Structure formats: structure tokens, C-alpha cells
Amino acid sequence: MSKASFTSRRAPVHHYVLAVILGAILTIAVSLLVGVSNPGDFWLAAGIGALCAAYPAMSLGARVFVSRHTVTRDPHGEQSVELQWMRQAGAGAFLDVLVATIVVAAVLAVGRIGVDALPVLLGLVGLSALDAGLRYLAIRHRALK
């Protein structure tokens, strides 16, 4: 393979540096917030926060500064079958969660039942994720059958 037929798509060096700087700033910010929220074990909490935030922060930096130079966008990517399946699953899951929310709200109102909001909201988030995932698998299974 000659050099003329192979072109390397690399971002300028300063974009990599900017990606690392953004990642470091975000990691430090998250670790400080976690540390401040746990004043008794500031350094331990900050360290755990930094470990949890480092990879996503660096990935975001690479996405913002590097990927536009190194990733070629598919002009027909919006027309992919998988994306259509995900949209169908998301739309169906939204309707399911909306109906479930209305039913639960009605039961709680009619029954005059008092519950904490956090468990209910976490349940709705879990329901929506599970519903969308199962719908996607079902749509995919039917399409590939």
C-alpha cells in the first residue's frame, strides 16, 4: 500500500491537549463536589469521585476536541435499521411509562396513599429503561426472524 492511497486522519496535537485539559478539569470538579458532599472522608470521597469521573470526562474531551478530525460521519447513519428499532422502542416505552404514571397517580390519589417521591421516580426510570430494552429486543427479534 503506497503512502498516497493511505491517509491518516489525525487531529492536531493541541486538540489532544485540549481534550486532556477538559477531562482533567471535569474530573477535578466532580471529585471536589463529591469530596465536599462527604466532609468526614473528604479525600477518600474525592478519590472515588475522581476514579468514577475520569473516564467519562476524558471521553467527553475526546468527543469535543478530537472526534471531528478522526471520525468520518456516515451520511446515511440516520437511516439505519438499528436506529429505527431504537426509535420505535423508545416511542412505545414512552407511552407505556406515561400510562403507568397516570395509573399510579390515580391509584395514589383515589386511595389517598402517601409515598416518598424518590422511590417512585427511581421506579419510573427503571421501568422506562427495562421497557425500552425489552421492546428493542422484541422488535429486533421480529425483524431478524
- Please tell me the predicted confidence (pLDDT) of residue 102: 93
Contacts for 131 with CB less than 8 Å, ≥ 6 apart: 92, 93, 96, 97
d(CA 111, CA 130): 27
At residue 3, does pLDDT exceed 60? no
Confidence category of residue 8, pLDDT binned at 50, 70, 90: low
- Please tell me the predicted confidence (pLDDT) of residue 6: 42
Give per-residue pLDDT as tens, 94-115: 999 999 999 989 998 999 888 8
d(CA 31, CA 44): 10
Instruction: Summarize the confidence of residues 11-40 as an average pLDDT.
Output: 93
Confidence category of residue 137, pLDDT binned at 50, 70, 90: very high
Give per-residue pLDDT as tens, 36-90: 999 999 999 999 999 999 999 999 999 999 887 777 777 777 788 888 999 999 9
What are the backbone angles phi and psi of residue 4, rounded to the nearest 5°? -65, -35
In order of 52, 98, 132, 144, 145, the CA distances from 86 in angstroms are: 28, 18, 8, 15, 17
- Please tell me the predicted confidence (pLDDT) of residue 60: 94
- Please tell me the predicted confidence (pLDDT) of residue 117: 84
Q: Which residue has the higher pLDDT, 137 or 69?
A: 137
DSSP 8-state secondary structure symbol assigned to residue 71: -
